[in-house]
């Protein structure tokens, strides 16, 4: 008699990814949501990168907090390098 063991692998897809881009700006990517985009556009200094399909923001005091507020309770992945850089600003 043989037994069959089934394994289920679940991948949790992070909704929002926040990191540094190559120019030292905060890079934010997320699935399209028009209400989020409307809120993103209220943050001064934002730029849309159409080829790469993400938003960038100046990496200065208070900006990361504004970004986090936009996403509320959504699952967010923040690059540890950004956390370190932002805490020094």
Give pLDDT tens digits for 78-87.
998 876 555 4
**Domain residues for 55?**
17-88
Tell me, yes or no, whether 10 lies in a domain.
no
Give the 3-state secondary structure of residue 49. Answer: strand
Tell me, yes or no, whether 6 lies in a domain.
no
The predicted model scores a pTM of 0.76
Tell me, yes or no, whether 39 lies in a domain.
yes
Overall number of domains in the chain: 1
64 neighbors 82 (Cβ within 8 angstroms): yes
Tell me, yes or no, whether 40 lies in a domain.
yes
Question: Within 13 Å, how many C-alpha atoms sit on residue 3's CB side?
Answer: 2
Structure tokens at 38: 């409307």
Give pLDDT tens digits for 4-46.
555 444 444 558 999 999 999 999 999 999 999 999 999 999 9
Tell me, yes or no, whether 45 lies in a domain.
yes
């Amino acid at each position: 008699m043989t037994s069959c063991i089934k394994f289920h692998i679940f991948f949790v897809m992070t909704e929002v990814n926040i990191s540094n881009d190559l120019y030292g700006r905060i890079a934010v990517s997320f699935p399209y949501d028009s209400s989020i985009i409307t809120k993103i556009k209220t943050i001064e200094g934002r730029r849309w990168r159409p080829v790469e399909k993400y938003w960038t923001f100046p990496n200065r005091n208070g900006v990361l907090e504004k970004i986090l507020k936009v996403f509320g309770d959504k699952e967010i992945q923040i690059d540890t390098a950004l956390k370190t850089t932002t805490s020094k600003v």
